[in-house]
Amino acid sequence: MPEMLIGGEWREATAHEELEVVNPATEEIVDSVPAASPEDVELAVATAKRAFAEWSRTDVEHRASILAKAADLIHERAKDLAARLTSEQGKPIAEAMGEVSHLAHGVRFYAEAATKVRGAYQELPSTLGPAYGMVIRRPMGVCAAITPYNFPLTLLGTKVAPALASGNTVVAKPAATTPLATLEVARLFSEAGVPDGVLNVVTGRGSRIGDGLVAHPDIRRVAFTGSTETGRRVAALAAPDLKRISLELGGSDPVIICADANVDAAVKAVIIGRYWNAGQACLGCKRVFVHESVYDEFVGSLVERVGRYEPGDGTTKAEKPKLRMGPIHTRAGRDELLEQVEDGIASGGELLIGGGTTDHRKGYFLEPAVIAEPSTESRLNREEVFGPVLPIFRFSDFEEAVRRANDTPYGLGSSIWTHDARLIHRAAQDIEAGMTWVNQIHYGYDELPFGGVKASGFGKEHGIEALDSYVEIKSVVVGGLA
Ligand code: NAD
């Protein structure tokens, strides 16, 4: 059984309890991990606090070289990491390899970026003679990194890499159902030279240890990715101590396909955007609005391509021209999707393909679905749909499409397909979202700040901007120079 990492030691839970990890494709137990209790969290935070004293004083070049080494190790062990990830999360091996590459790329990005950050120097007016000001950046302390089940590794990297690069220490908490690959990645960080106590991982249920971690007085920064519901709780727990938090929450990204769109490219991008990871992506294409003049062409091509997917165990490949899609991560998640599909159809939507369970004896599989024109009040339009189910809506007026795109509590990503500069400008300005892709796939680039508005949360991950969110900016005024 893998153990959790606290202070450089691999440990069982203090209460000796365990948590089973289940493969969603086979429903078999893959492994067990310690089920941490609040005492374990206490220990991890205390250890990280002690380690901060030394780590925060190391020079950035040193920290960056350790992160670069970690990125190399992740790259070298990609196959093993991907296999572990598939066994606990369900995604096909090829997608798991993609996630591991993205993790290595993100860690390397911060190894390089951290050494390029420059500060400010400002000459100042002063009655006491010449003076100048400096703006310096100080690490914050112990950071909590809380990750969800859908991309356990990339979302770990987006937190741990900028936190460590900036001189902080970390207590990471993966989702209860996906701790295994995370523990392996922590092992590689240690192997790369991250000192004992600088990166700790506690495994267990969020309902048991989440509150204690977020509210711990020695945690100064909480980076949370997960559902909007849990995010609200994290915000409330962090409020009394005025902790700095970033909340990367749910989404219901709109896609607007205009009359002049490259329909073939748009179909390909929407397929990836909606059906990658069996649709369990925060920035998935979750509502598509298609101009009436290209609606039939778009829908015909989309449905034909969705028909190529074959749900199955992610460790096996589908026979060409079929494409493998993994299971939904939990039975409860699949049940919710089935209910959302049923509601969409009952509201007047037409099921064009998929939407049912498969005939596998085990595993939480769902046939990928497309549903035309469910009602605007249906759950498919009003809620986050976290799986391979896509509602499609027809529009005739661009302003109307933007209004409907914004008619959601969420505001994570969005995209538009057109070459009309005026419409591109309108989309960039008017769509209420943290990101707008133009003629592009919904993808979280390491190079660009990423994060939502409205019920999708606040704060940014990725990009050079994320480094700022792991430091205290301090102004220093220096006089007595004459
Ligand atoms: P979740 O909210 O159920 O769990 C996320 C994490 O929070 C897990 O590690 C969980 O154990 C922990 N947790 C649970 N209760 C807690 C508490 N009281 N205090 C602290 N931590 C607690 O989310 P999930 O179902 O694992 O993930 C799916 C959701 O994540 C979707 O809504 C998806 O859109 C969202 N997501 C958002 C982004 C983004 O960048 N915006 C990225 C990926 C996923």
Domain boundaries, the chain: 4-249+457-477, 254-445
Q: In the predicted model, is pLDDT for residue 85 greater than 90?
A: yes
| Mean model confidence pLDDT for the chain | 98
Mutate to test the pocket of ligand 1, among 19, 146, 171 (most ligand atoms within 8 A of CB): 146
Please list, in sequence order, all residues whose beta carbon lies within 8 angstroms of the beta carbon of residue 53, skipping any fewer than 6 positions away.
none
Bridge-based pairing state of the strands 457-458 and 244-248: antiparallel
Q: Is 399 a catalytic residue?
A: no
Q: What is the number of the ligand 1 atom nearest to the C-alpha of 148?
A: 26
Mutate to test the pocket of ligand 1, among 33, 91, 102, 150 (most ligand atoms within 8 A of CB): 150
Quick one: CA dihedral 459, 463, 464, 467, positive or negative?
positive
pLDDT tens digit string along 47-63?
Answer: 999 999 999 999 999 99
- Ligand 1, atom 11, lies closest to the CA of 206
CATH superfamily entry for domain 254-445: Aldehyde Dehydrogenase; Chain A, domain 2 (3.40.309.10)
Mutate to test the pocket of ligand 1, among 214, 229, 230, 335 (most ligand atoms within 8 A of CB): 230
Instruction: State the distance from the centre of ligand 1 to the C-alpha of 232, rounded, in angstroms.
Output: 11
Phi, psi for residue 473 in degrees, rounded to 5: -85, 125
> Which one is the CATH code of 4-249+457-477: 3.40.605.10, 3.30.479.10, 3.40.390.30, 3.40.50.2300?
3.40.605.10
Amino acid making up residue 64:
A
Q: Pick the catalytic residue from 88, 95, 99, 248.
A: 248
CA atoms within 13 A on the CB side of 183: 26
Predicted confidence at residue 312, as pLDDT, reads 98
Instruction: State the distance from the centre of ligand 1 to the C-alpha of 282, rounded, in angstroms.
Output: 10
Q: Pick the catalytic residue from 143, 282, 285, 367.
A: 282
Task: Read off the pTM.
Answer: 0.98
Instruction: State the distance from the centre of ligand 1 to the C-alpha of 225, rounded, in angstroms.
Output: 5
- Residues near ligand 1 with C-beta < 6 Å? 146-151, 155, 173-176, 206-207, 210-211, 214, 225-227, 230, 233-234, 248-251, 282, 384, 386, 412, 452, 456
Please list, in sequence order, all residues whose beta carbon lies within 8 angstroms of the beta carbon of residue 155, skipping any fewer than 6 positions away.
147, 148, 225, 248, 461
Instruction: State the distance from the centre of ligand 1 to the C-alpha of 177, rounded, in angstroms.
Output: 11
Burial 105-132 (b: 16+ CB within 10 A, else e): bbbbbbbebbeeeeeeeeeeebeeeebe
Q: What is the number of the ligand 1 atom nearest to the C-alpha of 237?
A: 19
Examine domains 4-249+457-477 and 254-445 and report if their fold is the same: no
pLDDT tens digit string along 73-82?
Answer: 999 999 999 9
Bridge-based pairing state of the strands 253-257 and 285-291: parallel
Instruction: State the distance from the centre of ligand 1 to the C-alpha of 455, rounded, in angstroms.
Output: 13
Amino acid making up residue 63:
R
pLDDT tens digit string along 433-469?
Answer: 999 999 999 999 999 999 999 999 999 999 999 999 9
pLDDT tens digit string along 107-161?
Answer: 999 999 999 999 999 999 999 999 999 999 999 999 999 999 999 999 999 999 9
Q: Is 282 a catalytic residue?
A: yes
Q: In the predicted model, is pLDDT for residue 102 greater than 90?
A: yes
Predicted confidence at residue 1, as pLDDT, reads 86
Contact 45, 235 (CB under 8 A): no
Residue linked to tokens 């430091």 = 471
